[in-house]
Copies of this chain bind each other. A is one copy, B any other.
Amino acid sequence: MIDIEKIRKDFPILNEKVYGKSLVYLDNGATTQKPQQVIDAICECYAHYNSNIHRGVHFLSNKATDIHEKSRETIREFINADSSEELIFTAGTTESINLLAYSWGDFCVEEGDEILVSEMEHHSNLVPWQLLCERKGAKFKYIPFDDNGVLSSDFDSLINEKTKLVCVNHVSNALGTINPIKDIIEKAHAKGVKVLVDAAQSIQHIKVDVKDLDCDFLVFSGHKIYGPTGTGILYGKKDLLNAMSPWQSGGEMIETVSLDKTTFNVLPFKFEAGTPNYVGNIALGRAIEYVNEIGIDNIEKYEADLLKYAHEKLSSIPSLKIYGNAENKASLISFLIEGTHPYDIGTLLDRMGIAVRTGTHCAETVMQHFDIPGTIRASFAIYNTKKDIDDLYEGLLKITKMLGL
Contact = CB atoms under 8 A, between A and B. Distances in A.
Nearest to A125: B250
Contacts of A52: 27, 30-31, 223
Interface in A111-132: 119, 122-128, 130-131
Nearest to A351: B59
Contacts of A357: 55-58
A368 to B, nearest CB: 6
A288 interface: no
A257 B366 CA distance: 10
Nearest to A246: B131
Interface stretch (A90-98, A291-299, A301-309): A90-98
A355 B58 contact: yes
Contact of A43 (B43, B221, B257): B43
A277 B349 CA distance: 27
Nearest to A91: B91
Interface in A264-295: 273-280
A373 interface: no
- Interface size band for A: 35 or more
A251 interface: yes
A248 B27 contact: no
Contacts of A359: 55, 57
Contacts of A125: 250
A151 interface: no
Given A57-B343, A98-B250, A254-B362, A277 B23 contact: no
Given A273-B95, A274-B95, A258 B364 contact: yes
A256 interface: yes
Contact of A46 (B34, B98, B262): B34
Contact of A277 (B39, B230, B248, B346): B230
Contacts of A38: 46
Interface in A218-266: 221, 223, 228-231, 247-251, 254, 256-259, 262
Given A19-B59, A228-B279, A273-B94, A364 B48 contact: no
A294 to B, nearest CB: 19
Contact of A350 (B34, B55, B59, B247): B59
A18 interface: yes
A226 to B, nearest CB: 10
Contact of A280 (B221, B256, B280): B280
A125 B259 CA distance: 12
Given A12-B47, A279-B230, A356 B58 contact: yes
A383 interface: no
B368 A249 contact: no
A128 B253 CA distance: 12
Contact of A257 (B25, B123, B273, B354): B123
A93 B250 CA distance: 10
A124 B350 contact: no
Nearest to A92: B274
Interface of A: 12-13, 16, 18-19, 23, 25, 27, 30-31, 33-34, 38-39, 42-43, 46-52, 55-61, 91-95, 97-98, 102, 119, 122-128, 130-131, 140, 142, 221, 223, 228-231, 247-251, 254, 256-259, 262, 273-280, 343, 346-347, 349-350, 353-359, 362, 364-365, 368
12 contacts: A12-B47, A18-B58, A30-B61, A42-B46, A59-B355, A91-B95, A95-B273, A127-B249, A127-B257, A128-B250, A229-B276, A230-B231
